[in-house]
Amino acid sequence: MDYYGSKISALIEELSRLPGIGAKSAQRLAFHIVNMPPEQVERLALAMTDARTNIHYCQQCFTLTDEDVCPICRDQGRDHHTVMVVENPRDLAAYEKVGKYNGVYHVLHGAIDPELGRGPGDIRLKELMVRLQQEDVQEVIIATNSSLPGEVTAMYISKLIKPTGIRVSRIASGVPVGGDLEYIDEVTLLRALEGRVAL
């Protein structure tokens, strides 16, 4: 039933499509938005369309950026011989927040998940192998999640890389099973990184 008129309902419906936003939160946000100053609403709408239009994958590591190559890949002060493989840009952000990792990254945008029918061709794995051929990489640290898909992906990648002679390691299993990296505290993340084991 349409209690609020179609414009509010449309806004609620759009908001409720966002991840983690249920019907109640969508309603609360919608009412908040219609009470915001018009300029602020415009800034919000503009920030969304601007981000959607201008943000794409970094040509090297495939994280999200509004430039051709992201600031991390461009940074010559970082160790480009060490590549940490993560599932998504949020995981990269979690490691950057800890601030103790000085290498570069490779973002897979997902994990191999047979249950969802997602295979090696559905993540940025081929791009990783191309990078390893073209760049002088000495160590690959696999930091996929400790969920089943994350572990499957880690094993798959290590098998692919082993024959190249490049050192492969896996972050230590201090990371709770099924826990998304972005929700893990910095101490745990740092311990996982420092306690990584060779595969």
Binding site for Zn ion (CB under 5 A): 58, 60-61, 70, 73
User: Least distance in Å: CB of 70 to Zn ion?
Assistant: 3
Using CA atoms of 168, 172, 177, 178 in order, give the dihedral in degrees to the nearest 10: -50
Nearest residue (CB) to Zn ion, 58 versus 143: 58
User: Least distance in Å: CB of 31 to Zn ion?
Assistant: 39
User: Least distance in Å: CB of 62 to Zn ion?
Assistant: 7
Q: For CA atoms 90, 126, 160, 71, give the dihedral sign.
A: negative
By residue count, the chain amounts to 199
Nearest residue (CB) to Zn ion, 27 versus 63: 63
Nearest residue (CB) to Zn ion, 80 versus 167: 80
Nearest residue (CB) to Zn ion, 109 versus 191: 109
**Token digits of residue 155:** 């094993």
CA distance 62 to 185: 25
User: Least distance in Å: CB of 76 to Zn ion?
Assistant: 13
DSSP label at residue 160:
H
CA distance 12 to 24: 9
